[in-house]
């Protein structure tokens, strides 16, 4: 139903037909409704009392209409048209405009805006983003934040991630989005939320907290502490439509939340309830038979995925919908196949009442469909998916046209007799010490073995100083980091007991003599001798010299998990004339960033030496060589290493992965075989942690078994590796099957690309012109001058009149930080891609969410018209374009733009364009009107005296035909929107009732248990929860019922002439 702008129930008002202003009449005061549309009884003269759609009428006494302005020839310029379109975008209401597009210092990839569209259409405001590693989930989630800032004035963002990724988040937000983010602990977060609750002050922040630092393991009544207090505060303040502690919560590495019995999962539930929106990020593969997917989706929407049986039913019901979408989206649509798939979908309880699918099925009876209808039907199917609104996943092979190729290079190394003797002795001794050990002790022994394989010289030197050679179970200060470097989170999840698996009472290994001399000086000389003949290092330095001689600006990243290996290599390489940089765990973010900048920009720095922990969260796309000086046991650690280079932004077509091959070690044999079989050096294996973790653990156990000969070890390893390869293939097949059920990218990606081509985003030049126009017209004393030192940077000094007005606006909106323009001259920029601007503390990016832009926007709003500095628009314009710059023929074109608003369960706001050629009445087909008008607005030239160059009657006739076409299109859109709204209301109503029923059953069970235990005193409290649950259901159903009644409006926004000339 249309929102009234004048009261049709008042009689004797003079009105006219909007598309035929010459037809005038008088209201009778009587109205009616038909199919949700308001009808007005109008007396047009004797014997002509007729009901007309309210939308078709306007008061004659209103200020000059757009048609009147056209008739009198009061045409403005292209600048006026551009200002109107930019203002509509800046308002943040247009559904089909992406405010996050080109808003950061990142390259454009269409798939990264899929999550934005999904969240905007989400009925619950939550989304699971499950893209493969290296596709930019951080960027995607921050695009969503930018979108919420523009559309909802979002201010409070909380990012929760593993502790090691906090600095990465802060750095990315600063460098890519020019925003300040702070790392906070539970105490700071508690203080901020308490202050918000007490004062009601909407404090703006971007906080980054660790998963480890917020979760609460002990939930007993007597539990105390900051984290417990924070958790209880979150639990007692759930979000609703008017209030939320956080506007958005982003949880990175969300697969850590998948176990419903853990503190991590409980934290996820608390944050979900306390936030207006929730994003879960994970690279875990999607499998339809995976409890991981179910648990994560349950976190997103417990009302829809409240048990596994429902999850399975939804999977089955959804399959034909996605099949139909794929069939209709073919270059030549398969209509028969689509019809069959839709018929199958309509059999399901989930879709049997869907008016949209029923209407779509009727339209499919046609023999052919137009491209426009193909797009519209595709949109209906996409929006009907039961899973599409809750999750999205992109894979490299689907979204990257020119994927980086991986090329493996092996450097073969053979031990000298002395090295072989040391290796055999240490291996023998470690195996003997492994008897009877379990848990972390086993991992520590494995770590010693890996240290020796990493660098024998570095390991012996370190062990000698720490007493490790006498007892390999001796701990030292670096042990914790070393164990994490090699095993990661496996340490927390496993309790290995080798005695339980193998019998060590009768070791078959023969005794091996100790190769080390007595005496400290003699031992140090022994190490020096090993250093001189270090075969592994000799192979490395030969490789570097060959590559650098071919290209002295080549960059190399060398990974090793042992600190002493890295420091040993740094000294030797520097001594041999190879300049290096070094990052390891424990260094501060600023120091790490400084090292990386030096490595990237200094052509004399050829090699970056990095540990696993040191490299967490860094991007090295400017390198194409990665050297694995040692190979981790878990292939996922190798994938993470390669992922530092094989990610978005890698300019080289090929990256080279260099590995060392030892001919005389069983562990290297196992690793070479494993990695060759799973093709990790040829292609991304995705995140296969669940499979690889357990299987590679078994390989490690086998290695330490002193009961097995080398031949037996090789056979055991081959069996395990074949099993791993089989499971990986099975997993990939399962994921492909799941992707068919829950996602379809082509349709969405085409819509995103079309939106970008149609300029459905805010271009930096648009905002710059918007700002310049405003100050030129209203505060002419303001100075905006190019910064002499930096292209694309502008020094802005507000006039004495503008400064207090901006400051007052900021105070009224409680903008605590964000601009210094009301007090001083500030260096500002409009384009986030200008080099050297993002992340600078004294530079301000003038994006839609910036206080200055918000203030200017406010001055154009109707409610500010009585304020100082208020602005109005010139609603008609005339522009001139050259025919070679557009895809239409020469002539004069009349354009009209409507602002469509439809509000139900969701709100849709868009600009609708229509253009007619004056000479022959040709109506331009879909998308061409928008393209032509945008071209006129942003590149057109002024056309003076336009009224004298055209036949006014023909212009008005064309205007009325454009109005008529838009009115018909709006009515069709309205019908479709209402059908969609009814379907979504039905789904929400069903979910609400199912959720309430589940809670009732839960409470009934608790009451039954209390009765059986004789604890009847607690029953009244549970009964109170039952009543509260009933009350909440009634409120929810009432809200849904209200949303079933849609309201719509489609006023004319602006119009004018476009002269296309040769």
Question: pLDDT: is 904 or 698 the higher one?
Answer: 904
pLDDT, residue 828, reads 92
Provide CATH code, domain 106-304: 3.40.50.10810
Q: Which residue has the tokens 């199912």?
A: 994
Mean pLDDT for the chain? 81
Q: Which residue has the tokens 């077509």?
A: 653
pLDDT, residue 664, reads 65
Instruction: Identify the weakest region by mean pLDDT among 182-186, 266-270, 441-445, 657-661.
Output: 441-445
Asked whether the predicted pLDDT for residue 500 surpasses 70, the reply is no
Mean pLDDT, range 723-744, rounded to an integer: 56
pLDDT, residue 346, reads 94
**What pTM does this model have?**
0.72
Mean pLDDT, range 980-985, rounded to an integer: 86
The pairing of strands 783-786 and 793-797 is antiparallel
Name the strand (E) or helix (H) holding 410: strand 405-413
Contacts of residue 826, Cβ cutoff 8 Å, sequence gap at least 6: 795, 796, 819, 820, 842, 844
Give the span between the Cα atoms of 1016 and 140, in whole angstroms.
52
Asked whether the predicted pLDDT for residue 977 surpasses 60, the reply is yes
- H-type alpha helices, 778-828: 802-812
Burial class (CB in 10 A: 0-12, 13-18, 19+), 63: exposed
pLDDT, residue 735, reads 53
pLDDT, residue 688, reads 47
pLDDT, residue 835, reads 78
Asked whether the predicted pLDDT for residue 1055 surpasses 80, the reply is yes
Give the span between the Cα atoms of 802 and 812, in whole angstroms.
15
pLDDT, residue 834, reads 82
Question: pLDDT: is 540 or 710 the higher one?
Answer: 540
Neighbours of 271 (CB within 10 A): 22
| Banded pLDDT at 768 (limits 50, 70, 90) | very high
The pairing of strands 1052-1061 and 907-917 is unpaired
Token duo for residue 860: 């154009």
The pairing of strands 876-882 and 843-845 is unpaired
Q: Which residue has the tokens 């037996």?
A: 712
Asked whether the predicted pLDDT for residue 871 surpasses 70, the reply is no
| Banded pLDDT at 307 (limits 50, 70, 90) | confident
Count of all residues that appear for the chain in the document? 1062
Question: pLDDT: is 647 or 697 the higher one?
Answer: 647
The pLDDT tens digits of the residues spanning 672-696 come to 666 666 565 555 554 444 445 455 5
pLDDT, residue 691, reads 44
Give the span between the Cα atoms of 741 and 288, in whole angstroms.
8
Give the span between the Cα atoms of 407 and 654, in whole angstroms.
7
Asked whether the predicted pLDDT for residue 428 surpasses 80, the reply is no
Return the top range by mean pLDDT from 435-444, 648-657, 1037-1046: 1037-1046
pLDDT, residue 580, reads 94
Cβ pair 655, 404 in contact under 8 A: yes
Question: pLDDT: is 444 or 944 the higher one?
Answer: 944
Question: pLDDT: is 481 or 459 the higher one?
Answer: 459
Return the top range by mean pLDDT from 265-274, 291-300, 979-988, 997-1006: 265-274
Mean pLDDT, range 783-804, rounded to an integer: 92
| Banded pLDDT at 62 (limits 50, 70, 90) | low
Asked whether the predicted pLDDT for residue 933 surpasses 50, the reply is yes
Asked whether the predicted pLDDT for residue 3 surpasses 70, the reply is no
Distances (CA, A) of 57 to 48, 54, 528, 897: 16, 5, 96, 18
Mean pLDDT, range 813-819, rounded to an integer: 70
Asked whether the predicted pLDDT for residue 491 surpasses 50, the reply is no
The pLDDT tens digits of the residues spanning 311-354 come to 888 888 888 988 898 888 777 888 999 999 999 999 998 888 88
Asked whether the predicted pLDDT for residue 647 surpasses 80, the reply is no
Give the span between the Cα atoms of 637 and 616, in whole angstroms.
11
Cβ pair 1058, 940 in contact under 8 A: yes
pLDDT, residue 290, reads 61
Angle at alpha carbon of residue 197, lines to 193 and 203, rounded to 5°: 60
Cβ pair 741, 311 in contact under 8 A: no
pLDDT, residue 619, reads 77
| Banded pLDDT at 575 (limits 50, 70, 90) | very high
Asked whether the predicted pLDDT for residue 140 surpasses 90, the reply is yes
Mean pLDDT, range 387-408, rounded to an integer: 77
Asked whether the predicted pLDDT for residue 951 surpasses 60, the reply is yes
């Amino acid at each position: 139903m249309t929102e009234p702008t004048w009261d049709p129930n008042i009689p004797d008002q003079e009105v006219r037909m909007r598309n035929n202003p010459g037809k005038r009449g008088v209201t009778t005061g009587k109205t009616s409704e038909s199919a949700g549309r308001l009808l007005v009884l109008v007396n047009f003269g004797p014997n002509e009392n007729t009901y007309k759609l309210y939308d078709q009428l306007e008061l004659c006494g209103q200020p000059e209409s757009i048609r009147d302005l056209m008739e009198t020839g009061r045409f403005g310029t292209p600048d006026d048209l551009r200002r109107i379109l930019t203002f509509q975008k800046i308002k943040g209401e247009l559904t089909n405009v992406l405010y996050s597009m080109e808003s950061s210092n990142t390259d454009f990839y269409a798939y990264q805006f899929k999550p934005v569209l999904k969240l905007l259409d989400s009925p619950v405001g939550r989304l699971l983003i499950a893209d493969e590693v290296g596709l930019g989930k951080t960027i995607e989630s921050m695009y969503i934040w930018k979108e919420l800032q523009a559309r909802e004035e979002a201010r409070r963002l909380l990012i929760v991630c593993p502790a090691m990724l906090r600095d990465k988040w802060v750095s990315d937000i600063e460098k890519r989005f020019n925003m300040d983010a702070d790392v906070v602990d539970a105490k700071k977060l508690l203080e901020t939320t308490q202050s918000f609750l007490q004062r009601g002050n909407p404090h703006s922040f971007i906080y980054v907290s660790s998963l480890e630092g917020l979760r609460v393991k002990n939930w007993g009544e007597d539990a105390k502490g900051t984290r417990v207090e924070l958790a209880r505060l979150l639990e007692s303040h759930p979000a609703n439509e008017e209030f939320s502690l956080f506007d958005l919560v982003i949880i990175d590495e969300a697969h850590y939340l998948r176990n419903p019995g853990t503190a991590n999962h409980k934290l996820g539930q608390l944050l979900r309830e306390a936030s207006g929106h929730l994003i879960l990020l994970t690279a875990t593969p999607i499998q339809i038979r995976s409890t991981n997917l179910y648990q994560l989706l349950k976190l997103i929407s417990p009302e829809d995925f409240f048990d596994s049986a429902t999850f399975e039913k939804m999977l089955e019901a959804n399959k034909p919908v996605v099949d139909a979408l794929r069939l209709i989206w073919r270059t030549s649509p398969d209509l028969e196949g689509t019809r069959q798939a839709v018929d199958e979908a309509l059999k399901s309880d989930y879709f049997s009442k869907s008016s949209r699918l029923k209407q779509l099925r009727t339209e499919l009876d046609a023999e052919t469909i137009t491209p426009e209808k193909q797009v519209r039907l595709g949109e209906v199917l996409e929006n009907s998916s039961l899973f599409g609104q809750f999750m999205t996943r992109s894979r490299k092979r689907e979204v990257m046209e020119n994927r980086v190729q991986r090329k493996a290079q092996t450097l073969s190394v053979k031990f000298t007799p002395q090295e072989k003797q040391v290796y055999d002795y240490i291996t023998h001794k470690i195996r003997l010490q492994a008897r009877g050990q379990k848990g972390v002790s086993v991992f520590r022994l494995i770590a010693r073995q890996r240290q020796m394989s990493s660098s024998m010289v570095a390991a012996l030197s370190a062990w000698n100083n720490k007493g490790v050679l006498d007892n390999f179970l001796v701990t030292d200060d670096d042990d914790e980091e070393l164990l994490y470097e090699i095993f990661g989170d496996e340490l927390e999840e496993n309790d290995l007991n080798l005695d339980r698996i193998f019998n060590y009472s009768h070791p078959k290994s023969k005794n091996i003599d100790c190769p080390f001399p007595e005496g400290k000086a003699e031992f140090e000389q022994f190490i020096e001798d090993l250093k001189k003949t270090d075969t592994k290092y000799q192979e490395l330095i030969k490789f570097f010299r060959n590559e650098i001689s071919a290209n002295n600006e080549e960059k190399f990243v060398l990974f090793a998990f042992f600190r002493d290996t890295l420091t040993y290599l740094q000294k030797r390489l520097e001594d041999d004339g190879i300049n290096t940089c070094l990052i390891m765990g424990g260094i501060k973010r600023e120091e790490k960033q400084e090292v990386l900048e030096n490595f990237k920009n200094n052509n004399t720095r050829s090699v970056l030496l990095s540990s696993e922990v040191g490299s967490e969260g860094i991007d090295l796309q400017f390198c194409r060589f990665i050297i694995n000086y040692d190979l981790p046991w878990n292939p996922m650690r190798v994938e993470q290493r390669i992922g530092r280079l094989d990610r978005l932004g890698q300019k080289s077509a090929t990256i080279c992965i260099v590995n060392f091959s030892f001919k005389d070690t069983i562990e290297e044999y196992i690793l070479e075989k494993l990695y060759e079989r799973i093709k990790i050096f040829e292609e991304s294996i995705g995140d296969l942690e669940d499979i690889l973790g357990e299987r590679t653990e078994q390989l490690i156990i086998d290695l330490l078994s002193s009961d097995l000969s080398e031949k037996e070890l090789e056979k055991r390893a081959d069996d395990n590796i074949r099993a791993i390869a089989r499971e990986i293939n099975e997993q990939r097949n399962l994921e492909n099957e799941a992707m068919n059920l829950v996602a379809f990218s082509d349709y969405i990606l085409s819509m995103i690309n079309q939106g970008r081509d149609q300029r459905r985003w805010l271009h930096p030049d648009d905002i710059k012109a918007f700002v310049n126009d405003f100050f030129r017209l209203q505060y002419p004393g303001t100075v905006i001058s190019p910064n002499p030192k930096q292209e694309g940077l502008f020094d802005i000094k507000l006039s004495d009149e503008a400064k207090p007005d901006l400051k007052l606006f900021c105070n009224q909106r409680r903008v605590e930080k964000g601009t210094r323009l009301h007090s001083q001259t500030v260096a500002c920029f409009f384009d986030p891609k200008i080099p050297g601007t993002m992340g600078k503390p004294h530079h301000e990016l003038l994006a839609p969410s910036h206080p200055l832009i918000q203030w200017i926007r406010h001055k154009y709003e109707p409610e500010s018209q009585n304020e100082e500095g208020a602005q109005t628009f010139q609603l008609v314009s005339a522009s001139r374009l050259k025919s070679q710059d557009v895809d239409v023929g020469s002539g004069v074109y009349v354009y009209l733009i409507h602002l469509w608003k439809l509000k139900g369960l969701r709100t849709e706001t868009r600009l609708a364009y229509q253009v007619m050629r004056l000479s022959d009445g040709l109506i331009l087909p879909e998308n061409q009107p928008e393209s032509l008008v945008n071209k006129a607005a942003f590149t057109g030239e002024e056309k003076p005296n336009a009224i004298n160059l055209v036949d006014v009657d023909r212009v008005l006739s064309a205007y009325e035909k454009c109005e008529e076409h838009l009115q018909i299109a709006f009515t069709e859109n309205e019908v479709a929107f209402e059908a969609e709204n009814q379907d979504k209301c039905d789904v929400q109503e069903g979910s609400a009732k199912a959720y309430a029923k589940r809670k009732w059953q839960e409470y009934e069970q608790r009451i039954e248990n209390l009765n059986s235990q004789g604890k009847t005193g607690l029953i009244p409290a549970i009964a109170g929860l039952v009543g509260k649950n009933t009350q909440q259901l009634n409120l929810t159903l009432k809200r849904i019922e209200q949303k079933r009644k849609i309201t719509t409006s489609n006023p004319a926004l602006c119009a004018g002439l476009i002269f296309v000339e040769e």
